[in-house]
A = this chain, B = another copy of it.
Amino acid sequence: MQGVKPQPAAVGRPRSGTRRLPAATAREEILDAAAELFAQRGYAATSTRLIAEAVGIRQASLYYHFGNKEQILAELLEATVRPSLDYAAELAHQDTEPVAALHALAMYDVGVLLTARWNVGILYALPEVATEPFARFRAERDRLREAYRVLTAAAAPADAGGFLGDLVFGLVESVIGMRRDLPVAPTEELRRAVAAAVLRIVGANPAGR
């Protein structure tokens, strides 16, 4: 629970001076507060009331922006995969050579997962994520997995074994657990280590480890 600072006294007072993110909209502040509470206190244990208190707004104001708690979580989860999905599309559009594209996507994706303000990916494991409000998130994450499969199949030698794309996707997402478990995770070194390991998994000779 440390690091979670609900502000019970803030309910209803003017928001100026209480902002979590200086240049953010109320909507962005709600997402940020929810991400912190969900990741550190847990999704089930976090109410929309608690989120509103952490932002310093009334619960009614929160409901102006989001219909319910599921919508907030869905938007947070989608934000963990959409940038990498867009980047994969860009790489495909540019017709980048498969080994280079796979390396670039892994670097980018790990960067997204490690540098987000809160480690929202930890919430992938919630049983709620299997339900309807998260169908779009699941579809987008499936598309990202598929992008890894396509690049991996193109980058690997013909005799490579099965599951390569899934193993690469799993390795990339494993930084979510490392970010939680390791005392310090030096972002840049870890990014490079993961991307290099991805190339070794597919058996593509990396230019320099």
Residues of A within 8 A of B (CB): 39-42, 44-45, 122-128, 145, 159-164, 166-167, 170-171, 173-175, 177-178, 180-182, 189-190, 192-194, 196-197, 200-201, 203, 209
Contact = CB atoms under 8 A, between A and B. Distances in A.
A160 B192 CA distance: 12
Contact of A200 (B122, B145, B162, B201): B201
Contacts of A189: 162-163
Contact of A42 (B41, B128, B180, B209): B128
Contacts of A39: 127
B42 A177 contact: no
A151 to B, nearest CB: 16
A174 B174 CA distance: 7
A189 B163 CA distance: 9
Given A167-B174, A174-B173, A209 B126 contact: no
A171 B167 contact: yes
A18 B203 CA distance: 51
B122 A197 contact: no
Nearest to A160: B209
Given A122-B125, A162-B189, A200-B201, 15 more contacts: A39-B127, A42-B127, A44-B44, A125-B126, A125-B180, A161-B193, A161-B196, A163-B190, A164-B193, A164-B197, A167-B194, A170-B170, A170-B175, A174-B174, A201-B201
A145 to B, nearest CB: 8
Contacts of A200: 200-201, 203
A88 to B, nearest CB: 18
A173 B125 CA distance: 13
A193 B167 contact: yes
